[in-house]
Amino acid sequence: MTVYFVTRHKGAVEWARRRAIMAEHVEHFDPETTQPGDIVYGTLPVSVVAQVSERGGRYFHLDMKTPPERRGSELTADDMDTFGARLQEYEVRRVED
């Protein structure tokens, strides 16, 4: 089993470090590498999350309530704490037509 933390933001890496989240930090994630039991943390597109689930992985989304005026800006670990950052597990499946 591999645990991944997918982010390109230094503040998020520091936030995870402060919480002793033991994961392999990657800036880009290929869902095709997911093995059963793998854990993926991050803010991935729903289609990628579905692929993680289809391959037997678990996905935890980095949720927080970011004020509109701070969206799109680089956040620090302290900012993330202020905005209530947490990892929330989601299960996503693709629905075929």
pLDDT per residue as tens digits for the range 16-73 = 999 999 999 999 999 999 999 999 999 999 999 999 999 999 999 999 999 999 998 9
Q: What's the domain count of the chain?
A: 1
How many C-beta neighbours within 10 Å does residue 3 have?
Answer: 15
The verdict on residue 97 lying in a domain is no
The verdict on residue 34 lying in a domain is yes
The verdict on residue 8 lying in a domain is yes
The verdict on residue 83 lying in a domain is yes
- Cα separation, 89 vs 53, whole angstroms: 11
The verdict on residue 95 lying in a domain is no
Containing structural domain, residue 22: 3-90
The verdict on residue 39 lying in a domain is yes
- Structure token pair of residue 61: 């989304």
User: Pick from 13, 22, 62: which is nearest to 41 by CA?
Assistant: 62
- What pTM was estimated for this model as a whole? 0.93
